[in-house]
Amino acid sequence: MTLTFGTDGMRGDARTELTPAPVRALAQAGAEILGHRGFAVGRDTRASGPELAGAVHAGVAAAGGDSVDLGVVPTPAVARWCADHQVAGAMISASHNPWYDNGIKFFAPGGSKLGDRVQDEIQARFDALRGSEIEAVPTVVDAHDTAAESHVERVVASLEGRSLAGLVVVADAANGAAHDVAHRALTRLGADVTMLHAAPDGTNINDGCGSTHPASLQAAVVERGADLGVAFDGDADRLLAVDADGRLIDGDQIIAMCALDAKARGRLAGDAVVVTVMTNLGFRRAMDDAGIHIVDTKVGDRHVLEALDAGGYSLGGEQSGHVIFRELASTGDGLLTAVQLLDIVARRGRPLGALADVAMIRLPQVLQNVRVARRPVDVDGPLAPFIDASLARMAGRGRVLIRPSGTEPLIRVMVEAETDAEARMEADGLVAAVESLFG
């Protein structure tokens, strides 16, 4: 059994892998390297959360420090606490995974996610500590109500006094960390809100609901005659939306609307937006037409944040719905994104679907995962002739991206083209090339 950092923290089955003993060692390692005074600990609604939170507090104590328990809060609430109090922290969550999985995401003092070098340091110390029997009595401050309310207040304040009155909204909380704060924030801003999947029981998080399973939200929006719907994932750090007709609006479309609105208001720093290599070609064309520069990063919102800070930019995110408003937060925040998106709808006085259609035309995108015996060091070189041939056939009307998974023995093949049929044909050919070269 090997526990290692992936794209966004460390995850595993909480019944067999990410159990209290290794979590205690991991927390000790994190606290030793990041800082162990006032270490903030939040969690989502998984059944394993309370026990693993106890293990994190014990690990911080073993490092010689004390900690603050934030209770059930969204991941960005932990990041916000770390920024406000200049302490390190951890979120116990496996995001959109099933209830039996769990994970640990660390934040540095200031609320930012960790770079590769710091993760490597924690990994090395964790590997050295595993199996140790160091025990310490935790000193824990309870800040459940304070953390949640502070997060709601800051999200509400982001509208600078504007209201969402008149908007009818259905919000799917995924039976996760947004189940309470989403209703509080949206109703406080004046929206008429119906909550969906907001009764967590420890095992129903992401179960047929939330941003990874939006079908019930799509149906509820149409049935209620709502203006739109919003869907969070388990730890509420990302968001997808649904228009009045039940059509799904993804992260690319949300970022496009926010970028165009911010530019029109003179609030888009550098007239630029930071996105990942997975961002749809239709988004790229729309931003080019609008005179907005695109900065590309690797997949993962921590890479987006690094590029935002390096360039002094204000907006970035991922197709999956992680959106970072850098002047307002230090990480992706589903609730903040929902409020900012609803604000655009309210100010513009136009339906979400119409705004999305004006913002960009989404090109068909096909993504296929090819399992291989082991992750290759180089995929670009061997596949270059096949990629070049595919691009030549599409004659500038499409895009190809092939990359190894960061966590699994998979090679991911992505093709975008003018039509779904063309994208699928080119993807099938490239998958066959990957299989022939890498098994």
Q: Summarize pLDDT for 32-84 with one digit per residue, the tens.
A: 999 999 999 999 999 999 999 999 999 999 999 999 999 999 999 999 999 99
* Residue 359 covered by a domain: no
User: Mean pLDDT lowest for which of 72-81, 259-268, 385-394?
Assistant: 385-394
Going across the sheet that includes 323-325, the strands are 293-297, 272-276, 315-317, 323-325
Q: Are residues 224 and 236 in the same domain?
A: yes
For residue 197, give the DSSP letter.
S
- 14 φ, ψ to 5°? -70, -10
* Residue 240 covered by a domain: yes
pLDDT digit string (tens) for 303-338?
A: 999 999 999 999 999 999 999 999 999 999 999 999
* Residue 425 covered by a domain: yes
Given 111, 131, 149, the domain boundary residue is 149
| Statement: residue 406 has pLDDT above 80 | no
| Confidence band of 378 (pLDDT split at 50, 70, 90) | confident
pLDDT digit string (tens) for 11-23?
A: 999 999 999 999 9
The confidence score (pLDDT) of residue 41 equals 98
The residue annotated as part of the active site, out of 67, 95, 320, 330, is 95
* Residue 177 covered by a domain: yes
Structural domain including 395 reads 365-438
| Average pLDDT score over residue span 187-193 | 98
CB 27 within 8 A of CB 56: yes
* Residue 5 covered by a domain: no
Is-catalytic flag, 95? yes
pLDDT digit string (tens) for 273-308?
A: 999 999 999 999 999 999 999 999 998 888 999 999
The confidence score (pLDDT) of residue 191 equals 98
Instruction: Give the long-range contacts of residues 48-53, CB within 8 A, separation 24 or more.
Output: 48/14, 48/15, 48/18, 48/100, 48/102, 49/92, 49/93, 49/102, 49/202, 51/20, 52/14, 52/18, 52/20, 52/23, 52/92, 52/102, 52/104, 53/92
* Residue 110 covered by a domain: yes
CB 93 within 8 A of CB 46: yes
The confidence score (pLDDT) of residue 439 equals 75
What total number of domains does the chain contain? 4
Q: Are residues 186 and 263 in the same domain?
A: no
User: Domain with 431 in it: what CATH number?
Assistant: 3.30.310.50
| Average pLDDT score over residue span 373-391 | 87
Percent of the chain scoring above 70 in pLDDT: 99
The confidence score (pLDDT) of residue 404 equals 86
User: Domain with 207 in it: what CATH number?
Assistant: 3.40.120.10
| Average pLDDT score over residue span 228-234 | 98
Q: What's the start-to-end Cα distance of the chain, in Å?
A: 25
Q: Are residues 245 and 286 in the same domain?
A: no
| Statement: residue 407 has pLDDT above 70 | no
| Confidence band of 409 (pLDDT split at 50, 70, 90) | confident
Q: How many C-beta atoms lie closer than 10 Å to residue 192's C-beta?
A: 16
| Statement: residue 1 has pLDDT above 70 | no
Q: Are residues 219 and 242 in the same domain?
A: yes
Q: Are residues 337 and 262 in the same domain?
A: yes
The confidence score (pLDDT) of residue 135 equals 77
Q: Are residues 269 and 331 in the same domain?
A: yes
Please tell me the pTM assigned to this model.
0.92
Q: Are residues 339 and 399 in the same domain?
A: no
Given 249, 278, 311, the domain boundary residue is 249
The confidence score (pLDDT) of residue 137 equals 86
* Residue 356 covered by a domain: no
* Residue 3 covered by a domain: no
Which is more confidently placed, 318 or 133? 318
CB 178 within 8 A of CB 335: yes
Given 249, 273, 306, the domain boundary residue is 249
